[in-house]
Amino acid sequence: MSDTSILTRTEAAERHRLLDVRTVRLDLDLTRGREVFGSTTVIRFACTTPGAATYVDVKPAALHRVLLNGRELDVTALRDGRFPLTDLAADNELTVEADMAYSHTGEGMHRFTDPADGEDYAYTQSFLDDGPRVFASFDQPDLKARYTVSVTAPQQWTVVGNSLGRQTSPGRWEFDPTPAISSYLLAVVAGPLHSVRAEHDGIPLGLHCRRSLAAHLDADADELLEITRQGFDHYHRVFRHRYPFDSYDQCFVPEFNAGAMENPGCVTLRDEYVFRSAVTDTRREERAMVVIHEMAHMWFGDLVTMKWWDDLWLNESFAEYMAYSVTAASTRFTGAWTGFAADRKPWGYDADQRPSTHPVAPETVEDTSQALQNFDGISYAKGAAALRQLVAWLGEETFLAGVNDYFDAHAFGNATLDDLLRSLTTASGRDVHAWADRWLRTSGVDTLRVTDGRIEHTSADGALRPHQLTAGHYRRTADGALELAERVPLDLPGHLLGDLPGDGAVPLDPPADGTELTLLNDTDLSYVKIRLDPASWRTARSSLGAVPEELARAVLWGAARDQVRDGELAPGEYLRLVADHLPGETSVHLVDAVLSFARDFVADCAVPPAERPAALAELARVCRTLLRRTEGEPDRTGLRLVAVRGVIATAADENGAAELRDWLAAGTVPGGPELDPDLRWQLLARLCVLGAAGEPEIAAELAADPSDTSEQGAARCRAALPDQAAKEAAWQALFHGELSNYLAAATAKGLWQPEQAELLDDLTTRYFKELGPAAARRGPALARVLTTAAFPAFAATDRTVRAAEACLADPDLTVATRRGLVDQLDTLRRAARARALTGQ
Ligand SMILES: [Zn+2]
């Protein structure tokens, strides 16, 4: 959007000094058709310097009227999303009437027509700086206000907001005033919703989704409500403040960009979390964690809000840490930390080793566009891992005492990292500031390497972070398995206590006789890369699957993954590990994560094209072994589902295609599971890639189930067809069309296929020419799609690396495009390096 204003930190501080926002009345009219909605905002605010000037943020389709203290202002004064206000009084009333445009990118007020039944839905995403696309606002986190919202909607619609609301006349909804909240947290969800209502501990609970998903939400409502209750009980046990809002609605909404958004009392979640097809238990665990994560934000983020976006980590790292620890402690998903090790931390490690890395808590974030880029693996995964280290150091009770003190001091207000560190220092009597300087103000991952009985502690930036962790010593049992002989706690001070003498190496007590494998960080308590001594690595290669605890195996798989990405382990060696140890693996977390990496990075990008068929065949054999192992074992449905998906994804020749066609015709995998929509579309997509299915099959599948899932499946299939016309159509839609965010992602997923390299050669070149203008035209959310799913990652050659570098030299790239490209280029270089390793 060309009218997007970018708020800087300096401007925000200036406006904060000047204004005290008291109340906002917001009236929305959702009955003005499918293009625009009406928005009237009345803001009452005080000004510390009467006579001064400021501006209000508003990004309308048409600005109808602006009244300041009864004075009619000229609406043509609007510039780049800012409307100037001059000659302020001590007390002011501002009225802004506008038509706002619905979006299809998940930003502002997103409107969606459900292809299943033609019903329309609308929901807001005000996050960061998209609130002014819905209502006029002094849009920055530290100008909190009480909001009173009313909405006019079609009569058969339900409207959900941040506070309790009711229909006062047909189609007219009025909501109670909220406590003081930040503008980026204001939310409205509307449409012919299906709702499930309940109550817990005096809090009204609601679950909502679009009507076509009603049966699926009903099927899972008990599970969702149980997790919600467990979350509230846990938080009420550990936090002194009770839940600070009057109700708790969780709205599952279509085409949502993030996992979920923590709007007070009105959480929005992507409605893929209303499962329409069979899912693994790990996917249910992920959903539980999202629920618990958003609940943590009700305190951390909503009750106490960061003053400026540089403390974004305060929100996200804390919620993420709580999500894992509360899910593991208080729900049935007791293995949540394995998921953290296998699925989540790699996101942080990868981000932290790229040129775009930044401290968890950056000293300054200059503006909102910069803030959006920090929404990455560092703010979430690394930040949560760092907090886990902090808890290991302080003890949980002390940590919570500090956090409660912080809530007491800043409830319904704003705070900074310094405020939190002060509370934690008071509670613990320790120098938490020094700890934060090492962990939160620096970038990069430490490496711990066992060499000659010592632990070599190094890092790229030379700033050694302190680590609380364990070392596991494993020995061989009589029957050839491995068992834990001893686990020792280690306290590596890093530079926490000042500069270390010498090379930073720490002696490791000699392990007991017979130790064959010494594994640092074997309980995955810390955030660190580990390298084994040569003898232990030999044991890991031969016996990884025999290591008794799944968390320790996750750490070993993580070390292997690292070494491939760092160019220290050839892709073929990694695939051998997979072939040797994955068929016997019992952890769904591990099988899923290892197979994904082996397929997406190793087979698709890091092995030379000539060797790819052999790599796929190897992975297919692993998946088939898993399939055989899980036949008739209903308790392993999770593993079986992963294996089935693996067989589909690795089918490569005529025999493979014939088998998939048989499954599709029979409607089931022999021995189960039956094919549900997700599996059917995945199957068809693979057949399209291989040229073994085409438009007739796609059209038939779409006609049988005309849902949005099917529309996305069809878009992906059509883009995957191995012919020039299909590729060109996908290209035009992605780079020159108006696809919604989800249809764009689906199209992008179909477009690039390693087996179609020749056909795609020209498009790889075009990508770098057309990316910049397309991403600028469609805004940050689509820029993310265009630089992730739509990036030609499989073309890991020097030529693509050079083309990406040349593209980065373009000064006109938007912040989001540049960041996406820098990150992809890093992965591309790593893949190219891994290919070279194979060639040696
Ligand atoms: Zn969050």
- Which of 199-208, 406-415, 625-634, 651-660 has the lowest average pLDDT? 625-634
Q: Which of 570, 659, 652, 591 is nearest to 618 (CA)?
A: 652
| Cα 293 to middle of ligand 1, angstroms | 6
Q: Is 269 within 8 Å of 377 (Cβ atoms)?
A: no
The pLDDT assigned to 480 comes to 85
Residue 155 confidence (pLDDT): 97
Residue 551: alpha-carbon gap to chain centroid: 22
Q: What is the pLDDT, as a whole number, of residue 2?
A: 34
Cα–ligand 1 centroid distance for 375 (angstroms): 10
**450 and 492 in contact (C-beta within 8 Å)?**
no
Cα 317 to middle of ligand 1, angstroms: 8
- Show the tokens assigned to 75: 């609406």
Burial class (CB in 10 A: 0-12, 13-18, 19+), 347: middle
Q: Which of 496, 360, 499 is nearest to 420 (CA)?
A: 360
Distance from residue 262's CA to the centre of ligand 1 (Å): 7
List 261's β-bridge partners, or say none: 268
| Span 31-43, average pLDDT | 98
CA of 320 to the centre of ligand 1 (A): 7
At 6 the pLDDT is 84
Average pLDDT on 235-246 reads: 98
Q: How far is the CA of 422 from the centre of ligand 1 (A)?
A: 23
- Kindly provide the residue ranges of all beta strands, DSSP E only, lying in 324-466, ordered along the sequence: 413-415, 446-451, 454-459
Under DSSP, the state recorded for 211 is G
Distance 274 CA to ligand 1 centre (A): 19
CA distance 709 to 715: 10
* The pLDDT of residue 839 is above 80: no
pLDDT at 24 over 90: yes
Q: Are 306 and 345 in contact (CB under 8 A)?
A: no
Distance of CA 258 from the midpoint of ligand 1 (Å): 9
What is the reported pLDDT for 588? Answer: 95
Distance CA 166, CA 173 (A): 6
Rounded distance between C-alpha atoms, residue 391 and residue 388, angstroms:
5
Contact status, residue 228 vs residue 208, Cβ threshold 8 Å: no
pLDDT at 501 over 80: no
Report the percent of the chain where pLDDT is more than 70. 98
Q: How far does the chain reach from its first CA to its final CA, in angstroms?
A: 48
637 band by pLDDT with thresholds 50, 70 and 90: confident
CA dihedral sign, ordered 456, 461, 463, 466:
negative
Going from the Cα of 537 to the center of ligand 1, the distance in angstroms, rounded, reads 37
93/420 Cα distance (integer angstroms): 35
- At residue 493's C-alpha, the angle toward residues 490 and 498, to 5°, is 165
Distance 315 CA to ligand 1 centre (A): 6
581-615 tens-digit pLDDT = 999 999 999 999 999 999 999 999 999 999 999 99
Distance 261 CA to ligand 1 centre (A): 7
Q: What is the pLDDT of residues 724-760, one digit of tens each?
A: 999 999 999 999 999 999 999 999 999 999 999 999 9
Q: Residue 236, Cβ neighbours under 10 Å: how many? A: 14
How many whole angstroms separate alpha carbon 217 and alpha carbon 489?
45
Gap from CA of 122 to ligand 1 centroid (Å):
22
Eight-state DSSP code of residue 611:
G
pLDDT tens for each residue of 447-477: 999 998 899 999 988 889 999 999 999 999 9
Q: What is the pTM of this model?
A: 0.96
Phi, psi angle pair for 103, to nearest 5°: -110, 165
The CA angle 735-736-742, to the nearest 5 degrees, is: 60
In the predicted structure, residue 255 carries a pLDDT above the cut 80? yes
Is residue 61 packed enough to be buried (19+ CB in 10 Å), middle (13-18) or exposed (0-12)?
middle
Q: What average pLDDT does range 616-643 have in this prediction?
A: 91
Phi, psi (deg, nearest 5) at residue 255: 55, 40
Q: Which two tokens stand for residue 190?
A: 């509307």
**Cβ-based neighbours of 26, under 8 Å, separated by 6 or more:** 39, 40, 41, 42, 135, 147, 148, 149, 150, 186
Q: What are 46-56's pLDDT values in tens digits?
A: 999 999 999 99
In angstroms, what is the span from residue 456 Cα to ligand 1's centroid?
35
Q: How far is the CA of 162 from the centre of ligand 1 (A)?
A: 17
Confidence of residue 680 (pLDDT cuts 50, 70, 90): very high
- Half-sphere exposure (Cβ direction) of 311: Cα atoms closer than 13 Å: 19
Residues in CB range of 229: below 8 A, 6 or more apart: 200, 201
pLDDT per position as a tens digit, 419-452:
999 999 999 999 999 999 999 999 999 999 999 8
Place of tokens 């609301």: 165
Distance 360 CA to ligand 1 centre (A): 15
For all residues of the chain together, what is the average pLDDT? 95
Q: Which residues of 90-126 are buried (b: 16+ CB within 10 A; e: fewer)?
A: eebebbbbbbbbbbbbbbbbbbbebbbeebbbbbbbb
Q: How far is the CA of 304 from the centre of ligand 1 (A)?
A: 14
| pLDDT at position 417 | 94
The percent of residues in the chain predicted with pLDDT above 90, rounded, is 91
Give the whole-angstrom CA distance, residue 202 versus residue 280.
33
The average pLDDT across 620-644 equals 90
Per-residue model confidence (pLDDT) at position 3:
38
**Which phi and psi angles does 245 have, rounded to 5°?**
-120, 175
All residues at 6 or more sequence positions from 604 whose CB lies less than 8 Å from its CB, including other chains: 612, 754, 793, 794
Is 382's pLDDT higher than 50?
yes
Q: Is the predicted pLDDT of residue 502 greater than 60, yes or no?
A: no
Written as six digits, the tokens of 430 are 């320790």
> Which among 304-318, 627-641, 806-820 has the top mean pLDDT?
806-820
State mean pLDDT over 542-552: 96
Ligand 1 centroid, distance to 741 Cα (angstroms): 20
Residues carrying an active site annotation: 294
